[in-house]
Amino acid sequence: MERMSMGELNPSARILMGPGPSNVHYRVLRAMSTPLLGHLDPQFLSVMDDICTMLRDLFQTKNRLTIPISGTGSSGMEASFVNFVEEGDTVIIGVNGLFGERMVDVAERCGAKVVRVDAPWGNMIEPEKMIKAIKEHPQAKICALVHAETSTGAQQPLEEIGRFCKGHSILFLVDTVTSLGGVEVKVDEWGIDICYSGTQKCLSVPPGLAPITVSPKAIDVMHSRKTKVQSWYLDLTMIERYWGEERFYHHTAPISMLYGLREGLRIIFEEGLQPRFERHRILGDRLKMELEGLGFRLFAQEGYRLPNLNSVVLPSGIEDGPVRKKLLTDYNIEVGGGLGQVKGKIWRVGLMGETCKIQNIEYLVAALKEIMAR
Amino acid sequence: MERMSMGELNPSARILMGPGPSNVHYRVLRAMSTPLLGHLDPQFLSVMDDICTMLRDLFQTKNRLTIPISGTGSSGMEASFVNFVEEGDTVIIGVNGLFGERMVDVAERCGAKVVRVDAPWGNMIEPEKMIKAIKEHPQAKICALVHAETSTGAQQPLEEIGRFCKGHSILFLVDTVTSLGGVEVKVDEWGIDICYSGTQKCLSVPPGLAPITVSPKAIDVMHSRKTKVQSWYLDLTMIERYWGEERFYHHTAPISMLYGLREGLRIIFEEGLQPRFERHRILGDRLKMELEGLGFRLFAQEGYRLPNLNSVVLPSGIEDGPVRKKLLTDYNIEVGGGLGQVKGKIWRVGLMGETCKIQNIEYLVAALKEIMAR
């Protein structure tokens, strides 16, 4: 075992081709090593404003309340439910993987009555099934879906459901942890009311922040709650006062992480959203072709496969644990194993943000060929 | 206004003498700019183990469950209540400042019936008053106190109350956000069952993590809950499985922040705890003397003043807002204003971790003399 002593921190230089974290641009790491400002310093308030502006462009929204939550992607999920759900509310959740299951758990802890719309792992959820569930539960407050199921590599179509929700009082909640910055996410056009993500996937910023955006329709729901938000830390009615003009202190912002996010967003807009999505699309196709050539079978439903997180069923010659260990220790390549019901059966090969480069694909393929030839 | 464009991040080099964040050692910043490992990489698991080992030494405890929560200090507060309180439980809270008030808010959101033990802001809470309240509410589940009230600079005596709690079923919960690493905190000896802190004060690591330690007595209470923890993100019954031997995935750990914490802890143990406390004590006395010489009056109760967070009432010649702004823009020195009921009346001058240096005191005093002479 590669045990590091309590000496210097000198980790190996990994190529992070798992489901996240992805590799981080050196400019982001450099920004994170900048000496700190205080969380109420006027210069820091400008940093916050810059981040909000760029996050709005990234989410393709005009929502005023568009900020990073001070926690990892899962804290974004919790913030997205806890601020809007009150005891006894009905919430419709599409479940076709681990993160849909997690949504059910989170919503129930908020006191929600959950209506599940299930689909097999690896498949998308038929939009008509979601719309039917909404029609059958006209009192439902929220309809929630995962855009990019990190556990299966499936991409969920959203536009039809969003269009339906727009015409009704129900709020449309979407998890874009693995999609934002890698594939198109159009919050306003698609009628999404609550949308959260994480920094460690296609933004290529270290884990620790959860960008979130909230529509005016959802803010109205939040402001007309009868009860206090059960989480103090994630209470957006207070957090919005720190990120808004009032600058009212809530908790000490994670300064260095926000420095990193700002730089990561700058890099994204230097590349441009469309070229970035194109890069993920082209290289995602390339990786899939290469892996199929090696005998892997694509796991996710055809037509609904993510470019940036490629789920593949292992060929008979490849043993999950030992081969992933060999990739890591002999080649410095991390790929992800399966979670939950597909544990041991599939791999999840990420091509997110900085990781999404042709040289990483070539190197992974060469490494696999070597291992399989032995 | 010092508005930074969306160009390069080039903040001024501040001396952070407020209530936190404090200045960060360059080695911590450097560690944070290290390329990332995955959150299940064996090398990263070693980093996690190193952190737990050093945190135990820092908290002076043998508690197995001693980990950093993936959020700022306030998430540590929430984790400390949400995992142990169930609907209808009685919680006794000492309130002598903003963070005691915050505890009340957090506990009530968990469904607690809160019994307040109040003292004037700036004073400590008489241990006999806390013990009396515990005797009057024998069904109470938790007795909670803030060790170092960041809003007032008061230091709370804990030993007598801890001794009493040890002999009873009640859990003793203590906030050491501003004290840990700057003044003595003896979790085991003092009978503390739940103790949380933050990284951005005397540990001199950027904000974003909340070290927490939980005694076996408190773990038993947690494991015998009748209801699920209402926060998924802060649910220690799941988080302990990732930090423990199982390594069961919960959420993606904030890798870079943990790199920083590891390095910050190494620096603390290179100095040694006792020399570090001594440094804070000596320089805290020095700063208090200097500020009194300039006409400031010490705010916190005599005998219970923190060395690392010095609260002072402004002399008549000094206007709060304008002078703090001048210190920041002309001298690059940040000091903290008052919060809540002492807003505009006091300053909070921090001497925490890396900030706690004689040159910072000398420079602040020289700056104040210049400003007051004008």
Same domain, B251 and B292: no
Same domain, B240 and B326: no
Answer whether residue A9 is part of any domain: no
Contact state of A4 with B43 under an 8 Å Cβ cutoff: yes
Contact state of B71 with A74 under an 8 Å Cβ cutoff: no
What is A296-339 written as a DSSP string? -EE-SPTT-B-SSEEEEEPPTT--HHHHHHHHHHHH-EEEEE--
Confidence (pLDDT) at B112: 98
Residue A1 reports pLDDT greater than 70: no
Number of domains observed in the structure of chain A: 2
Interface test with chain A among B5, B22, B30, B33, by most A beta carbons within 10 Å: B33
Same domain, B124 and B264: yes
What is the least distance, in Å, from the CA of A326 to any CA of chain B? 12
The stretch A22-48 carries a mean pLDDT of 97
B227, with CB counted inside 10 A (0-12, 13-18, 19+), is: exposed
Same domain, A39 and A58: yes
**Nearest residue on chain A to B43, alpha-carbon basis:** A2
Cα end-to-end span (Å), chain B: 23
User: What confidence tier does A5 reach under pLDDT thresholds 50, 70, 90?
Assistant: low
Tokens of A181: 């910055």
CB A337, CB A312: distance < 8 Å: no
The stretch A256-272 carries a mean pLDDT of 97
Confidence (pLDDT) at B374: 83
How confident is the prediction for chain A on average, in pLDDT?
97
Asked if A71 has any chain B CB less than 8 Å from its own CB, the reply is: yes
Same domain, B83 and B168: yes
Q: How many residues does chain B have?
A: 374
Asked if A340 has any chain B CB less than 8 Å from its own CB, the reply is: no
Residue B99's CATH number: 3.40.640.10
Tokens of B2: 């010092």
Distances (CA, A) of B370 to A6, A85, A268, B228, B364: 46, 55, 46, 58, 10
Answer whether residue A6 is part of any domain: no
Confidence (pLDDT) at B5: 52
The stretch A37-56 carries a mean pLDDT of 97
Answer whether residue B46 is part of any domain: yes
Handedness of CA A247, B176, B141, B300 (dihedral sign): negative
Threshold 0.90, pTM exceeds: yes
Same domain, A38 and A88: yes
Same domain, B154 and B105: yes
Residue A131, CA atoms < 13 Å, CB-side half-sphere:
14
CB A235, CB A78: distance < 8 Å: no
Going by their DSSP bridges, the two strands B346-350 and A15-17 should be labelled as unpaired
Instruction: Provide the residue range defining the domain that includes A300.
Output: 15-22+272-373
Instruction: Single out the residue in B246, B269, B292 at which a domain terminates.
Output: B269
Beta strands in A20-120 (DSSP E): 66-69, 90-95, 113-118
Same domain, B187 and B41: yes
Mean pLDDT by 10 residues, chain B (374 residues): 68 97 98 97 97 98 98 98 98 98 98 98 98 98 98 98 96 98 98 98 98 98 98 98 94 98 97 98 98 98 98 94 98 96 96 98 98 91
From B239, B272, B267, B271, select the one nearest B254 (Cα to Cα).
Answer: B239
Answer whether residue A3 is part of any domain: no
Residue A3 reports pLDDT greater than 50: no
* Amino acid identity, position A180: L
Answer whether residue B1 is part of any domain: no
Contact list in B for residue A13 (CB cut-off 8 A) is 35
Confidence (pLDDT) at A372: 94
Residue A358 reports pLDDT greater than 80: yes
Asked if B350 has any chain A CB less than 8 Å from its own CB, the reply is: no
Same domain, A234 and A301: no
Same domain, A180 and A77: yes
**Torsion angles phi and psi, residue B124, rounded to 5:** -85, 170
Same domain, A59 and A185: yes
CB B71, CB B210: distance < 8 Å: yes
Instruction: Single out the residue in A203, A236, A269 at which a domain terminates.
Output: A269
C-alpha B290 chain-centroid distance: 25
Q: Facing residues of B349 across strands?
A: B310
Q: What is the pLDDT of residues A242-252, one digit of tens each?
A: 999 999 999 99
Answer whether residue A7 is part of any domain: no
Residue with tokens 């808004």: A244
Contact state of A41 with B6 under an 8 Å Cβ cutoff: no
> How many A-B residue pairs are in contact by the CB < 8 A criterion?
243
**Nearest residue on chain B to A54, alpha-carbon basis:** B6
CB A254, CB B72: distance < 8 Å: yes
Which residues, other chains included, contact A246 with Cβ-Cβ below 8 Å and sequence gap of 6+? none
CB B337, CB B324: distance < 8 Å: yes
Same domain, B69 and B195: yes
Answer whether residue B201 is part of any domain: yes
Answer whether residue B8 is part of any domain: no
> What ipTM score was computed for the predicted complex, to two decimals?
0.97
Instruction: Single out the residue in A269, A302, A326 at which a domain terminates.
Output: A269
Residue B278's CATH number: 3.90.1150.10
- The interface residues of chain A toward chain B in range 157-216, judged by CB-CB distance below 8 A, are 198, 200, 206-208
Beta strands in B229-350 (DSSP E): 297-298, 309-313, 333-337, 346-350
User: What confidence tier does A178 reach under pLDDT thresholds 50, 70, 90?
Assistant: very high
- The interface residues of chain A toward chain B in range 261-300, judged by CB-CB distance below 8 A, are 262-263, 266
Beta strands in B194-308 (DSSP E): 194-196, 210-214, 297-298
From B35, B54, B257, select the one nearest A11 (Cα to Cα).
Answer: B35
